[in-house]
Amino acid sequence: MARVYNWQLGREMDYPYEGSRPRKQWAGVFDINKCIACQTCTIACKTTWTSGPGQEHMFWNNVETKPYGFFPLGYDVRILDALGPQAWQGETYSGQTIFEAAPSGERLLGWRPEDEDYAHPNIGEDEIKGRIDRGHAIAIPHEHWMYYLARTCNHCTYPGCLAACPRQSIYKREEDGIVLVDQQRCRGYQECVRGCPYKKVFFNPHTGVSEKCIGCYPRFETGEVSACFAACIGKIRLQGWISPPDQAREDNPIDYLVHVRKLAVPFMPQLGLEPNLYYVPPIHVPDAFLVQMFGPNAPQAVRTYREAREDPVLRGLFCLFGSSDRVLSRFRVDGDVAIGYGDDGDEVIRVPVTEPIIERPATDRLYQIRRVNTP
Amino acid sequence: MTIDLVRTACALALAASALGATACDSRPDHVIARRASGELPRTDPLSSAWDGLPEHEAPLVAQNVIEPHLTEASVTKIRVRALHDGRWIAFRLEWEDATDDHNVTTTVFSDAAAVQLPRTREARPTIMMGNDGTPVDILFFRAAWQTADNMGELYPNMPPIHHPPEAAAEGPARQEMERHYQAGVGAQNPTVVRPDGASVLAFSAEGYGTLSPPEGGYAATGRGVHRDGRWYVVLAREIGEAASSPVAPGRSVVAFAVWNGSNGEVGSRKNRSEWIELEIQGGGS
């Protein structure tokens, strides 16, 4: 095992390979509080990439309802349970990662789902944390909570799938950090299915090899966002590049949200993979659950989010979520306008931070008629 | 007197062997390939041509050098017979396995077996699939590869689903669509695009994790039959250029590996032998 630095843990950790960050890293931020679980992202991905034989059970993108929704069944609670206590000392993780907790003879701590675990991709949909008894519904804040969690492959800096593959059939692209299964090299051993704690590598029983989210690299290479990002009707998603914290740029929208404002946090960072999808955490969830799911910075991220409306830069940046099919690598907020720039520095999108309000009198004096709102 | 007793015991054991009982003392301590008197049973592990041939019994151990390990061997011995006809050589492997695992899900893998040979007769690569500059040739059998309709067997109640390639007419148009919609096919993965649905494939390797189609290639074939809790599998390959071939008449080495799919065995999680002496006889059997 080599020693690599994982900034999400605030420390070095064991990993089977030497640390080597890509030149640029594919990343995204999801504002969970805006997600309505319409599954448009899921279907956008499904129809684009996984409509072939043997892919029936695959959802490279899925949206589940927390706390009781999973795909595949119990994927997160299974690994969290196996890993044991996960303690943080401030922003430093003092527990074990899945690499450090590897049993003897294994490269990491992993498990394989049963076939049936893939059978109900939207199990637990809309279920809340507990039963609504008399009075619960009218108490504010609500005692019971739920939230939607949209997920794709995290294109991790230290991928579990890549670490687990004994054939090195999985690789991380130098140019964008996207993690791919080499479809020519794969022999279907499913060590990657076992090793990915997010269970985002899938075995294709028709071809006998494993497949996973490809980050829509054919789109990404041309500066377009991934299909699931482009299709999001709730505009909860922002795609771009993330830098290591010591190279963070204030004008990079992802860096700004993750590193500068610490408003977007990774999913289960304690597992040690340094995942590259970041979440604006749900605001109604108890801190203990937030910390377990999104790390020690999640409660503070919620507080920052609650005040974002009063913050001109954050307010402007949130207006750029879902505003364009192009990848935004730079942004600025100029008064009441948020502007996004592409990789080549050209302006890609310009949106008003406050939508103009136009008052239309109930009576049109020119035509002498009353206006009627027709929905 | 002691020697005479042993001889008598061996003779009795040989007689018992002919009646179907086991007799370890009668087994050769290495693998012997005789020259076939008739047609080589390249795809028939139960052919009568295998009867009465010398049978080597090789102990197997759990592969626990390369991670991930198999912690405990599930198949501890394998019986090997071999025949050749001057152009091809065939190994008939037999081992105990209560279940016939020929479909792959996320929890059950395919039963499988492999025969490993050095690239040349004199070479002695490491047992762990060879090493840099000293390759091995590997014949690889997977039960799943000889199953005609894995998906239909696994999911008999799956409703009919219209997959996009089915929109194209049979022939080149559909093949083109299948390349697009099945990445393993599009990438020409040798375990996916198998010649005539072969159940035994030819590979080479230069160290663990490097199993690849052999440069220049050599023809391979075979077949497995699961009967009464045992696998009988024949793996056959072309002998090739006699001057250097490890399977031309003469002496070389061979190694074997077996996977029990329902025990989660796949890839490096396998039962393996050590290198075993291989004697390929030139005369008739």
Among A20-29, B85-94, B163-172, which stretch is predicted with the lowest mean pLDDT?
B163-172
Q: Could you tell me which residues come within 8 angstroms of residue A276 by beta carbon, excluding any fewer than 6 positions away?
A: A25, A26, A27, A28, A154, A155, A156, A157, A177, A242, A266
Query: Which string of b and e fits B180-208 if b means at least 16 CB within 10 Å?
Result: ebbbbbbbebbbbebeeebbbbbbbbbbb
Give B238 to chain A, closest Cα distance, Å.
24
Is residue A275, in this structure, part of any structural domain at all?
A: yes
Q: Which residue of A has its CA nearest to B63?
A: A105
User: Residues of A with CB below 8 A from B266's CB?
Assistant: 188-190
Query: Which string of b and e fits A73-101 if b means at least 16 CB within 10 Å?
Result: bbbbebbbeebeebebeeeebebbbbbeb
Q: What is the pLDDT of residue A85?
A: 94
The CATH number of the domain where A9 resides is what? 3.30.70.20
- Residue B176 φ/ψ, nearest 5 degrees: -65, -45
Return d(Cα B273, Cα B62) in angstroms, integer.
9
Say yes or no for a CB contact (<8 Å) between B182 and A193: no
The answer to whether A183 faces chain B, any CB pair under 8 Å, is: yes
The answer to whether A218 faces chain B, any CB pair under 8 Å, is: no
Structural domain including A222 reads: 2-301
Give B155 to chain A, closest Cα distance, Å.
10
| Among candidate residues B28, B91, B25, the one with its CA nearest the CA of residue B55 | B28
Q: If you search the block for the tokens 């012997």, which residue do you land on?
A: B32
Q: If you search the block for the tokens 């504002």, which residue do you land on?
A: A31
Residue B138 has pLDDT above 70, yes or no: yes
For A59, the 3-state DSSP assignment is coil
Say yes or no for a CB contact (<8 Å) between A208 and B158: no
In the beta sheet, which residues pair with residue A28?
A: A239, A277
Mutate to test the interface with A, among B106, B107, B176, B199 (most CBs of A within 10 A): B106
Is residue A309, in this structure, part of any structural domain at all?
A: no
Say yes or no for a CB contact (<8 Å) between B107 and A115: yes
Quote the ipTM score: 0.89
User: Helices (H), strands (E): how many in chain B?
Assistant: 4, 13
Evaluated on CA atoms A86, A92, A98, A101, the torsion sign reads: negative
Residue A291 identity (one-letter amino acid)? V
Beta-strand relationship, A26-31 and A92-93: unpaired
Q: Which of B71, B144, B182 sits opposite A52 (nearest CB)?
A: B182
Q: What is the pLDDT of residue B5?
A: 44
Q: Which residue of B has its CA nearest to A51?
A: B163
State the pLDDT confidence band at B283, using cuts at 50, 70 and 90. Answer: low
For residues A254 and A242, the answer to whether their CB atoms sit within 8 Å is yes
Is residue A315, in this structure, part of any structural domain at all?
A: no
Q: How many contacts does A have with B, using Cβ atoms within 8 A?
A: 112
Return d(Cα A257, Cα A242) in angstroms, integer.
10
Among A275-284, B20-29, B118-127, which stretch is predicted with the lowest mean pLDDT?
B20-29
The answer to whether A207 faces chain B, any CB pair under 8 Å, is: yes
Residue B1 has pLDDT above 70, yes or no: no
For B83, the 3-state DSSP assignment is strand
Return d(Cα B23, Cα B25) in angstroms, integer.
6
Interval B180-230: pLDDT, tens: 999 999 999 999 999 877 899 999 999 999 999 988 788 999 999 999 999
For residues B42 and B251, the answer to whether their CB atoms sit within 8 Å is no
Is residue A180, in this structure, part of any structural domain at all?
A: yes
Is residue A316, in this structure, part of any structural domain at all?
A: no
For B40, the 3-state DSSP assignment is coil
Say yes or no for a CB contact (<8 Å) between A206 and B181: no
* CA B20 from centroid of its chain's CA atoms: 24
Is residue A71, in this structure, part of any structural domain at all?
A: yes
Q: How many domains does chain A have?
A: 1
Return d(Cα A279, Cα A237) in angstroms, integer.
9
- Residue A159 φ/ψ, nearest 5 degrees: -65, 135
What does each of the 375 residues of chain A score in pLDDT, given as a tens digit? 899 999 999 999 999 999 999 999 999 999 999 999 999 999 999 999 999 999 999 999 999 999 999 999 999 999 999 999 999 999 999 999 999 999 999 999 999 999 999 999 999 999 999 988 877 777 777 788 999 999 999 999 999 999 999 999 999 999 999 999 999 999 999 999 999 999 999 999 999 999 999 999 999 999 999 999 999 999 999 999 999 999 999 999 999 999 999 999 999 999 999 999 999 999 999 999 999 999 999 999 999 999 999 999 999 999 999 999 999 999 999 999 999 999 999 999 999 999 888 888 899 999 999 988 776
Say yes or no for a CB contact (<8 Å) between A204 and B184: yes
In the beta sheet, which residues pair with residue B92?
A: B81, B234
- The two tokens of residue A47 are 């129809």
- DSSP character at residue A136: G
pLDDT mean across residues, chain B? 89
Which position has the higher pLDDT, B20 or A17?
Answer: A17
Q: Per-domain residue ranges for chain B?
A: 21-154+196-284
Return d(Cα A75, Cα B87) in angstroms, integer.
52
Compute the average pLDDT of residues B9-37.
65
Interval B229-279: pLDDT, tens: 999 999 999 998 877 788 999 999 999 999 999 999 999 999 999 999 999
- The two tokens of residue A150 are 């949209």
CA atoms within 13 A on the CB side of A241: 29
| Among candidate residues B47, B49, B46, B54, the one with its CA nearest the CA of residue B38 | B49
The answer to whether A352 faces chain B, any CB pair under 8 Å, is: no
Say yes or no for a CB contact (<8 Å) between A209 and B189: yes
Q: Which of A112, A189, A211 sits opposite B107 (nearest CB)?
A: A112
Say yes or no for a CB contact (<8 Å) between B150 and A211: no
State the pLDDT confidence band at B166, using cuts at 50, 70 and 90. Answer: confident
DSSP string, A197-246: TT--EEEETTTTEEEE--TTHHHHTTTBPPHHHHH-TT--EEEEE---GG
Give B161 to chain A, closest Cα distance, Å.
9
Give B246 to chain A, closest Cα distance, Å.
26
Q: What is the pLDDT of residue B161?
A: 83
- The two tokens of residue B131 are 């090493």
Return d(Cα A137, Cα A126) in angstroms, integer.
15
Give A160 to chain B, closest Cα distance, Å.
14
Q: What is the pLDDT of residue A375?
A: 65
Return d(Cα A340, Cα A350) in angstroms, integer.
6
The answer to whether A57 faces chain B, any CB pair under 8 Å, is: no
User: Residues of A with CB below 8 A from B192's CB?
Assistant: 207-209
Q: What is the pLDDT of residue B2?
A: 42
Q: Could you tell me which residues come within 8 angstroms of residue A353 by beta carbon, excluding any fewer than 6 positions away?
A: A312, A315, A316, A319, A333, A336, A337, A338
Q: Could you tell me which residues come within 8 angstroms of residue B39 by beta carbon, excluding any fewer than 6 positions away?
A: B49, B85
Q: What is the pLDDT of residue A87?
A: 97
Report the phi/psi class of residue A296: left, alpha or beta, with left for phi > 0 and alpha for psi in -120 to 50. Answer: alpha
Say yes or no for a CB contact (<8 Å) between B104 and A203: yes
Q: Could you tell me which residues come within 8 angstroms of residue B17 by beta carbon, excluding any fewer than 6 positions away?
A: B23, B26
Say yes or no for a CB contact (<8 Å) between B150 and A187: no
* CA A63 from centroid of its chain's CA atoms: 10
A287-294 helix and A298-306 helix, angle to the nearest 10 degrees: 110
| Among candidate residues B54, B100, B83, the one with its CA nearest the CA of residue B235 | B83
| Among candidate residues A214, A181, A193, A9, the one with its CA nearest the CA of residue A91 | A9
Return d(Cα A279, Cα A308) in angstroms, integer.
15
Domain B21-154+196-284 architecture: Sandwich (2.60)
Return d(Cα A30, Cα A20) in angstroms, integer.
26
Q: Which residue of B has its CA nearest to A116?
A: B106
In the beta sheet, which residues pair with residue B204?
A: B137, B212
Say yes or no for a CB contact (<8 Å) between A166 and B67: yes
Q: Which of A53, A168, A183 sits opposite B189 (nearest CB)?
A: A183
The answer to whether A166 faces chain B, any CB pair under 8 Å, is: yes
Q: Which residue of A has its CA nearest to B268?
A: A166
Is residue A354, in this structure, part of any structural domain at all?
A: no
